[in-house]
Amino acid sequence: MPAEAIPAFQDNYLWLMSAGSSAVVVDPGDAHVIEDALQARQLELAAILITHHHADHIGGVEQLRRQWPKARVFGPEDSRIPADIRVAEGACVDTGVEGLPQFEVLEVPGHTRSHIAYWGADELYCGDTLFIGGCGCLFEGTPQQMHASLSKIRALPDHTEIYCAHEYTLDNLEFALWVEPDNADLCAFREAAQQKRARGEPTVSSLLGIEKQCNPFLRFDAPAVVAAAERRLKREGLAEYEVFGEIRRWKDTEFD
């Protein structure tokens, strides 16, 4: 079964996976909505996967631990995260739930210095590194780091499902059209996303292949995106991370 989006706060998605009577949750910033979801589905919490330390991703961990003390908490090497099992690049995460995939850990710093993602069975739980049509702000990392992280994600198969943590899609796609106003794939994707939101549906998950066509932060080598960055910097011959960095600065300073 695909993961289920559990809405929280203003625009967060907390992800719930289940098989049989057991469940795994990703980035439970709010314990109450997870408790309600588990109770409604008659599920026991077996494991928690954490991508990074921000409160809207870890705020519910301790309360969930108290209610399900046997649930194991996986997270990166970061003392700010209350994890039982620390994992790093290439580690295999086995939640212990039969019927759910094992996940490979990808280190994807940029949004935070210790951010990780979980990839398995063609699903990527990427926290705030990649959004539909966008990417996370660089709170603790550099453009070089985030470019490397997004390049790692971009190398995954096109049919990878992207499970990110926020409903930022329409805002992201509006900015993407500033960067690439003539991108027909982007125009069609934005229209489809608008229709989903009008029906009250999430725009997440999405396919990585679509992101490669539409997301300017994955298109740092696309001629139109390169040209946009060069026009802004009034300089040619930019490295890919410089293209990415200028597009990120553009969104940070003139769009948000």
Residues tagged active-site: 52, 54, 56-57, 111, 128, 166
CA dihedral sign, ordered 159, 210, 172, 149? positive
Distance of CA 73 to the CA centre of its chain: 19
Distance of CA 110 to the CA centre of its chain: 12
Amino acid code (one letter) for 71: A
Distance of CA 140 to the CA centre of its chain: 16
How far is residue 237 from each of residues 26, 180, 216, measured CA to CA in Å?
40, 19, 18
Asked whether 90 and 105 are in contact (CB, 8 A), the reply is yes
DSSP string, 67-82: H-TT-EEEE-S-TTS-
CB within 8 A of 71, min separation 6: which ones?
45, 46, 47, 48, 64, 65
- Longest Cα–Cα distance in the chain: 59
Tokens of 178: 């500033």
Asked whether 64 and 34 are in contact (CB, 8 A), the reply is yes
Distance of CA 13 to the CA centre of its chain: 10
Nearest C-alpha neighbor of 75 from the set 33, 43, 120, 28: 28
By residue count, the chain amounts to 256
